[in-house]
Structure 1
Amino acid sequence: MSAPSRSSARPDSAESANSGGVQFADIDAFHRWYAVVADRTHMSVERLALDELDGWAYDETTGHIRHRSGKFFTVESLDVQVTSGPVQRWSQPIINQPEVGILGILVKEFDGVLHCLMQAKHEPGNHNGLQLSPTVQATKSNYTRVHGGRSVPYLDYFRDPDAADVIADTRQSEQGAWFYRKRNRNMIVEVTGEVELVDGFCWLSLDQLYELLSVPDLVNMDARTVLACLPFEGGRPALRRSAETEHPEAENAFVAALLRSEQAECGVHSTHEVLSWITDTRIRTDLHAERGSLAQLRDWRRADGRISHDSGLFFDVIGVGVDAGGREIASWTQPMIEQVGTGVVAFLVKRIDGVLHVLMHARTEPGYTDVTELAPTVQCVPQNYDLLPAEARPPFLDEVLAAEADRIRFDTILSEEGGRFFGARNRYLVVETDLDLAQEHRDHRWLTVCQLAELMRHSFYLNVQARSLVVCLRSLATTSTAPREAR
């Protein structure tokens, strides 16, 4: 494949590193490079009262928090009614960002090994400041330069791709509990020619990225959702692994079962049965979500410069002021959502006839475009259920929290999207279980990894937390991260 010709995609020489590329012989070399980038870049974030935000104000007509440009996003209220579940009506703030942004990763083979072009990038909500991001991570307001700042490097590879170079291209949702019908274009585009590197970018192999997933708060949410869309099919040797050549079953039965799962088009349930189940769930779930004014929110209060739930749980809407180096603009203010507590996001997995299956949950959230998406087995902030009825407690949560150490295959704290969420973190787990198949809940089904990959080729089937966990699960098939004790 020839590389696309895009002179506009090449960065200005003042921003560029030497031609060629930053690659790493080992993970230690990456961490040394990453430390250097962290030392020479900065972002300071200050909490502000919502009424102190420059350029943001409560709209007198709608009651929304809106930017003076009319772009970016608004903070609104949502009144939710649902016919099933222990809580059938509530109100909440929610972010409405109707623009479709671009999340994209450039990939290129070096010596036959596929590498991804990643950026070390600060976001105001990142728990630790600097994290690994996709090649491009931009809203439409950003890449059309509503803010008057600099252009987004490498954007033209994704705005005007050659069809032959596109490995993955699909719209995917984001957090349906905090975003109203938010979706981004998730893309992976392959290049073969020389790519001039902008400072702060580097090439990482898939195995290196998978190893870095186990580092807390390093690979950001946007990178994880794009990596999840990478297909493991089509005869591309750089994207496929062999259970026989890399992980003989005698060495690691868990990994062998995982690799079979990547190739198993049908498991306990056929894909036809899974699609019918999802459709049935969407149809029988009667969800009504009405947008309204923040001034009319029930059970929420505006005090101390923020919007908070009366219980002190769930999340707050706060304001921040940002000063940054190396970004499209040097300073700005904005509202953000601050999660209360650390969440638990977990897959229960089980070997069935030698093939690893994942227990997926058909989950309804008020901000989803199509009512229900497949979520991890467990996705919650446990403390939020202290004030809710006992029947509201998520199924299988106790199974995850009580799991013995030798059943936990993956366990890392990872950050959520740092551009809109302040310090939001979840504990991501993959836990092997011996649950009886008869214990399958009406809203849960066992799927293979291959079936999950097929669903991710289409929009609005797997939610963003599930996509993150699919990448974490796939990382266990690498030599460096495979669980050694599984037999």
Structure 2
Amino acid sequence: MYESTSIAHWLAGRRAASGLTVEQIPFSDCKHWSFVDGRLRHTTGRFFSVIGIQCIHGPRHLKGLALPIIDQPEIGILGFVVRRTESGWEWLLQAKTEPGNVGGTQVGPSVQATLSNYRQVHGGQPTEMIDLFTEGKHVVRQIANVEQSEQGDRFLGKYNRNAVVEVERWFQPPAHRAWQWFDADAVREALAEDYIFNTDARSVLCCADWSLLCESEDMPPFGRWRSRGGFGEQLLVSSQVPLPASGHTQALDTLARCREASALQIEQVPLQRLEGWCVDTWAIECSQPGIDPVVRTFRIHSADREVQDWCQPLLTNRTEGLAVLVCAQRDGIVRFLLNPSVEPGFAERAQFAPSLLTGLGHANPAALLETIRNAGSSTHLSVRQSDEGGRFKDSVARYQIVELPPEQAQAFDIAGPWVTLSALRAMANVRGLLSNELRSCISLLLSWV
């Protein structure tokens, strides 16, 4: 129904129509935002706040760590709408403009809204189609519904509801070009492109029924690669390993032990007294050069938002991050190396992260970065992504799927569990097991579905 390149073409048109402008301003000019009791907050007390935290007890990489972090206890809704047609499944994509995104507008879920926004605390237009997810109106069936975390180094205990609902094929989305139906082929191909799908969309796709991305309904995920060899067929085999043989149970045991042993203790600290950080007219910044994030405030205009003009803080980055999901042939089956990661913002203290994740507050297996860069490794996919453009600015990371030779992979058996794709698929439907960055990595694999 649509050309595979049409998502990028449609998105380019929406970017031009948004008229997005983002201007840095001093804290004093950020309308409706101010420092109150050591935190940067909105006058309503809603939306979110920026607070300071210090880790006073925990693993070596976190002990003593102090940083600004987003406090947003509300659970937002990230929801995709799908429909079955004669030619297969179609996904309703939203061209979502966010001030921190590269390019401004990227593909988001059909509905992407915080609780404050869809309850119209901002005083703007209502959130389109929110009743599909709050009331079940026009819904044929609910396909996915699971709460999942935001980034554990930037958000304090923040969760969103990741959902997918099926509607009748006659369902009409809003009469606005910000929403458009695309078939599964177009979605798969766009998942392998830079700056097309935002982090929220990738999270929901990871938690969805992967068969909705297949070429046809009569094949399993990755089934199009059967008897064709290569990495695609290896993913098919890995996705069909029964859970008892997938490493699933061992992985959950590893994560439980990590949570019990972490003894993480976080204390809130006024931003002005955050050790090693400076608050001035324009920024909250680490006194050590090159440390991200830097908190700044901005005046924003976008013609395609419920409110077209507003001000807000954003956590900005100056360096590009790296998130790598490592895989290897283990006993003849492709398995993926998970890193049990203790992060200050996780309500459970620890979740599985990508095999390697750079940035403040992360610990990685020793020598893994050097091994990944070794000539013997193979990069199957590499995509650059803006992380959470509604709260971060210029927060860009390269997400990669890298395969290690079996003999090199063995050296990292003590770093974390090796699991099959079937185990990852099962864990994606459980709250708080897979980090936001790991879900984005898994979404790259869905381009092979």
Q: Structure 1: which 5+ runs fail to align?
A: 1-23, 478-487
- Output the amino acid matched with 2:440: S
Alignment match, 1:459: 431
8 Å CA contact 2:150, 2:159 repeated in 1? yes
TM-aligned CA deviation for residue 353 of structure 1: 3.7
The superposition leaves residues 259-317 of structure 1 with CA deviations (integer Å, 9 ceiling, x where unpaired) of 11122134766322221111111001111011121121000011351011111212100
Alignment match, 1:430: 401
Alignment match, 1:29: 6
Alignment match, 1:273: 250
TM-aligned CA deviation for residue 232 of structure 1: 3.9
Is 1:318 aligned with 2:290? no
TM-aligned CA deviation for residue 464 of structure 1: 0.4
Alignment match, 1:167: 143
- Output the amino acid matched with 1:429: Q
Q: How does 1:211-250 map to 2 (within 5 A)?
A: 211-232=189-210, 238=217, 240-241=219-220, 246-249=224-227
8 Å CA contact 1:257, 1:354 repeated in 2? no
- Output the amino acid matched with 1:454: A
Q: What is the SS of the residue equivalent to 1:25?
A: coil
TM-aligned CA deviation for residue 449 of structure 1: 1.2
TM-aligned CA deviation for residue 403 of structure 1: 5.0
| Alpha-carbon distance in 1 for matches of 2:347, 2:375 | 34
- CA pair 435-88 structure 1, distance change in 2 beyond 3 A: farther
Q: What is the SS of the residue equivalent to 1:26?
A: coil
Q: What is the SS of the residue equivalent to 1:89?
A: coil
| Alpha-carbon distance in 1 for matches of 2:7, 2:65 | 46
Is 1:397 aligned with 2:369? yes
Is 1:117 aligned with 2:92? yes
Alignment match, 1:45: 22
8 Å CA contact 2:250, 2:417 repeated in 1? no
TM-aligned CA deviation for residue 455 of structure 1: 1.1
Alignment match, 2:52: 77
| Alpha-carbon distance in 2 for matches of 1:27, 1:277 | 41
Superposed CA RMSD = 2.3
Alignment match, 2:108: 133
Is 1:361 aligned with 2:339? yes
- Output the amino acid matched with 1:253: G
Q: What is the SS of the residue equivalent to 1:165?
A: strand
- CA pair 267-430 structure 1, distance change in 2 beyond 3 A: farther
8 Å CA contact 1:78, 1:92 repeated in 2? yes
Deviates more, 1:81-90 or 1:294-303: 81-90
TM-score (norm 1): 0.85
TM-score (norm 2): 0.92
The superposition leaves residues 451-477 of structure 1 with CA deviations (integer Å, 9 ceiling, x where unpaired) of 111112110000001001111012134
Which one of 321, 324, 330 corresponds to residue 352 of structure 1? 330
Alignment match, 1:94: 69
TM-aligned CA deviation for residue 392 of structure 1: 7.3
Q: Structure 2: which 5+ runs fail to align?
A: none
TM-aligned CA deviation for residue 84 of structure 1: 2.6
Which one of 176, 188, 207 corresponds to residue 152 of structure 2? 176
| Alpha-carbon distance in 2 for matches of 1:47, 1:240 | 50
Alignment match, 1:440: 412
Is 1:192 aligned with 2:164? no
TM-aligned CA deviation for residue 393 of structure 1: 7.5
TM-aligned CA deviation for residue 443 of structure 1: 4.0
**Once the two structures are aligned, what percentage of the paired residues are identical?**
27
Paired residues, number: 442
The superposition leaves residues 419-467 of structure 1 with CA deviations (integer Å, 9 ceiling, x where unpaired) of 0001111001101111445423434110111111111211000000100
8 Å CA contact 1:265, 1:271 repeated in 2? no
- CA pair 239-319 structure 1, distance change in 2 beyond 3 A: farther
- CA pair 265-164 structure 1, distance change in 2 beyond 3 A: farther
Alignment match, 2:117: 142
- Output the amino acid matched with 1:129: G
